[in-house]
Every structure is written in structure tokens, then in C-alpha cells.
A and B are shown apart, each in its own frame.
Chain A
Amino acid sequence: MKRELDPGDGDLLRGLRDGDEECFLRIYRLHQGAVFRFALHMMGNRSAAEDTTQEVFMELIRNPARYDPARGSLRSFLFGVGRNCVMRMIEREQRWSDLDDDGFNGSREPRVAADPAGDMERSDRMERVRKAVLTLPPVYREAVALCDLNEMSYAEAAEVLGCAVGTVRSRLHRARSLLAEKLRPLRECNSRSAPRED
């Protein structure tokens, strides 16, 4: 998951500038999943995540020169563009404040369509965690989305967010405290319903 500056990025970008479709497809297939998941974790909405992914790569196609390898990896650049796009959408829609009690205010498709093992509890727990992440203020949410859900290092997250490593660390710390607080009732409920061992 963690990638350092890839020397191949330069060649692929040169190819993209010349309109080489193959080069574009290699870049896209390498990074689209991570960009899509980041947008999904930030907005909890597949259609918004799809729009974000499209916008990120459209920007790369139109202005490949905007990416400066000296400033970081292509992956960080793409996440940075995606992050700006997500923040604009969040600002526009104020989605996080509109979430209803059931989460995802109906615009979101069910995450788990079928659970063959019947593990409803697991799926329910994950949905609660997902909802808790989505109710975090955006600056804390992005720290969790990048570092915990996308397994980015602090340094790479700092590159994406354009801030110091220490800022990422403290935001993540604060985000996790808020999450723990939000999930505490669920945890207490689970520990009460867990079978006693004695």
C-alpha cells in the first residue's frame, strides 16, 4: 500500500502528455481504487466518489504539468486533487451535518448486499464505525481516511494534506478520541451482551 516516489511515474506522464492511451490506463488502474475509496470514506456516497474519481483523473489528463515530481509522489498528488474535490463537495452539501440517525441519509446504497455467513453483527458493527467516521468534522475524517483506512504513512498523508507530519499525527489522535467517544455506547452494549466466561 505504501509507495515511495515511483520513477516510472515520469515516463507514464510523458506518455500521457503525448496522448498515449496505454500510459493513461496504467496510471488510472494503479491509482483509481485508492482515490475512489478515499472519496467513499470521506462522503459515504458511491456516486459522489465516482464523480470525484472522474474529476481527479480528468484534471490529470487536462493539466498533466500540474503534477511536480519534486513535490511528492503521483499518488499523493492524485489524493491531493481528490481531497480538494471532496472538501468542495462537503462544503457544498454540508453532508456530514445532514446525516440522519440511520446514517447515509438514504442516498447511499447498502454496503453489504448479502451476508452468506449470516454475520449480521459484524456488518452492523462496520456500518456503525463507517457512520461514526462520516460524522467526524472533515479535517479529522480525512486523517482517519488516509492513515487508518488507506494505510498511508504520516509523511504521505502530510504531503496530501499539505501540512506538517505533526499536524497529521495530532489530527489523527483527536479524530480517534472522537471516534472512541462515538462508539463507546456500542462497545458497552457489546460487552454487556457478550457471554460471561465464568
Chain B
Amino acid sequence: MECDFFSILVCELARGQLADAGLKRRALEHASQCSECGRQLSEAQELSASLSELGAADSNEQAPARVEAALVGCVREQRRARRAQRRRVWLAAAAVVAIVAGGLAVRLFRQSLPVPHNSPAVAGPSIPALTSRSGQVEEAQRANLTVFQPRHRFAAPLFTKEGSKLRLATAPAQQDSGFILLPYGEDAPLPGGAQIVHVAVTPAALAMMGVAVPDAASEAYIEADVVVGDDGMARAIRLAGYSGQ
């Protein structure tokens, strides 16, 4: 065996990893006859012994108990977060169903009543929704947009209609009313009138509808007024406040 070839094998030989028995025998023979290769082998064997000694000395080393405790805390936190997320998704879905169902109910109710031409769709107290600011009332009436406000009074006109599209009235009326258009509501045609439905929803449900809420993870309910078109589709929303857990 050549010295160069031996130096390629010496690492495997010292580590006891040279599987080929014939090659191993020839390498050992060479080491016993060549002083330089013999020195290389004994150096490599000593190194293997030192590294094994070091590995064995450290074999009981492990991370302190506080690491395990911190990680278990993380597993629990993760589990809580996943459960809360699942719950929020269900609540959001339920809230959306409730809103749509409410809208349909309103629509059915209105269809069962006689509707006078160019007047509020539902008989009862005067309509406060689209009042004041000159011109805008007429415009809204021309647009056949009737918005009821069962509980709260708001003075400024809320919406105008361009063609068949619903548009939020310009500031400051928009700020006065507190209503915001839902992202898809803006472009949805509004064939008939609209109705305000008072609902209680979770922030997650609002977030799903595209409403920016400060704490979507909260499980508190938010009361809101939702403008539902005659077609049953929610167009705009006004947050009323938190009602607690």
C-alpha cells in the first residue's frame, strides 16, 4: 500500500469504520512497516479516544428543567389559541348567517306590506334617516333609498346612489352617522330600499365582513346597526358598543 493511499484511509481506520476487512488488514500491515504512517495512525487513534472520552463525559448533559417548563407553557398557549380560533370561526359563521337571515326576514316582512309610491317602505314614525342637508333628501328619495333607524337618531344623510351603486355620503355626514360601508356593499347594486337591523356580533365576525376592529381576538360581543338591503344583503354597518362577554 502507498503512503498517500494510507493517509486517505487513516481516519476511517482509527474510527473503526473501515468495513472492508482486506483493506483494513493491508492498511494495518503498512502502518506496522512504515514509521510515518504508523505515527499518523497512532495520532488518529489517540484523537478518536480523546473525542470518545469527551463525548462520554458530556453524555449526561441536557437542557435545564426551565427549558422544558417554558416549552410546555408554549404548547398550552398554542392549544388555547387554536381552540379560540376555532370558536371564533364558528361564531363568525353563525353571525353572518344571522345577518343574512335577518335581512331576508325584513325583506319578506316588507313584501307583505303595501308600499306607497316614493314614500317610506314601512309605516310608522317619520323617517329620520335621510334628512336635512338640502338636495340630498331628494336625491336619496329619487334613488328610492329608504333607511330606517329604529333606535338612534342621526341627522345627516347617509347614502346616495349613483346609478345602481350605493355610495356613502361625503364627510362630515359620514362621520355624523357613524356608518361605514362594507367592502362588498359599496359595489353591490341596491335594487330597492334598505332597513337597519340591530345585531350583536363578535369582533371576529366583523373582521370577516371586512370591518377593521381593534381587537379581533376578543370574545366580547359588539352591538351594531347593519344596513340590510331589500335583497337581504348587508351594505353598511355602524358599531354601537361592546356588550361584554
Contact = CB atoms under 8 A, between A and B. Distances in A.
Interface stretch (B59-67, B188-196, B203-211): B59-67
A29 B72 CA distance: 12
A108 interface: no
Contact of A50 (B47, B50, B51, B67): B67
Contacts of A151: 55
Contacts of B44: 176, 180
Nearest to A51: B67
Interface size class of A (residues with CB under 8 A): 35 or more
A170 to B, nearest CB: 9
Interface of B: 8, 11, 15, 43-44, 46-48, 50-55, 57-64, 67-68, 70-72, 74-76, 78-79, 82
Interface of A: 16, 19, 21, 24-25, 28-29, 32-33, 35-37, 40-41, 49-50, 53-54, 57-58, 61-62, 111, 122, 125-126, 129-130, 133, 144, 148-151, 172-173, 176, 179-180, 183-184, 187
A49 B55 contact: no
A32 B50 contact: no
Nearest to A34: B62
B51 A33 contact: no
16 contacts: A16-B75, A19-B76, A25-B72, A28-B71, A37-B59, A37-B61, A37-B62, A40-B58, A50-B67, A58-B74, A61-B78, A62-B78, A129-B53, A144-B51, A149-B58, A150-B55
B74 A61 contact: yes
